[in-house]
Amino acid sequence: MKLTRRVKEILSWYESDTPGTKANLARILMEGKLGGTGRMVILPVDQGFEHGPARSFAPNPAAYDPHYHFELAIDAGLNAYAAPLGMIEAGAATFAGAIPTILKVNSSNSLSTTKDQAVTGSVADALRLGCSAIGFTIYPSSEYQFEMMEELRELAEEAKAAGLAVVVWSYPRGPMLDKNGETAFDICAYAAHMAALMGAHIIKVKPPTDVLSLDAAKKVYIERKIDGSDLAKRISHVVQACFNGRRLVVFSGGEAKGTDALLAEARAIHAGGGNGSIVGRNAFQRPKDEALKLLGQMIEVYKGKA
């Protein structure tokens, strides 16, 4: 695998990491149709835990089979596939080495009333399964946020020592925030910055809206004329919050939406300097031919061709 100049530049940002961790980051960045560009499209399939099997897979029953998701990610030419322990175990041998995998090591579920997640996988599991990275969710603003951050700190230290990369889902939610606040411009940037401060190599956040949530932040955003007038400008600010672009940041596809809306979002992420999309339900809930078409169109956006 010969690294492109762009990927070498990105790896240089991670100054404390071992050759093993940088090699695993390179595996993700060099994989698939966007390999070498510094842009990424990743398939995450943790929704069975989060929302239940029928809500996740009944719209496309083929997706109940874990092999389906490996095949979708490979056939679409994506950079990586992220999933909880059981999903990756169910295809680990058949698809060994076929695509970089990210083991999601904590999970929540719809039967819980708390804004917390259980640790459901380990660094040892990730190594055993040949994964390139672990993935971990934190909920800034949750009443359990500090415990989650401490768990992440321990797992990230162990993962990096073993040569794995660390992907952090940073999703603000909790008693201080209403639904609008969870995706507010200032809050998304704050959440992304927290993930960078926690040592994430790749940061996953939701696309920010034009809402400003924290009163203290509103004053600064207005005084300093931080432009959030369109999604591309808001993406650019989130990238700035990720160490001025020295950490990789990808944006979730979120709840089901139409193709035009997804592509418009991808264009804004591309224009704002984001590193790509991590798209789950919007891909695997469609029939496979439609999913492949959508993912192909998104890849063309990130190549700057659409």
Catalytic residues: 204
Question: Which tokens hold the place of 163?
Answer: 């040569």
**Closest CA relative to residue 79, chosen from 122, 38, 126:** 38
Per the DSSP assignment, residues forming a β-bridge with 205 are: 251
CA–CA distances in Å: residue 7 to residues 62, 71, 131, 149, 166: 35, 25, 20, 29, 17
**Closest CA relative to residue 137, chosen from 50, 72, 11, 53:** 50
Question: Which tokens hold the place of 113?
Answer: 């009333």
The set of long-range contacts for 10-16, using a CB threshold of 8 Å and a minimum separation of 24, is: 10/38, 10/248, 13/243, 13/246, 13/247, 14/201
- Strand duo 133-138 + 165-170: pairing: parallel
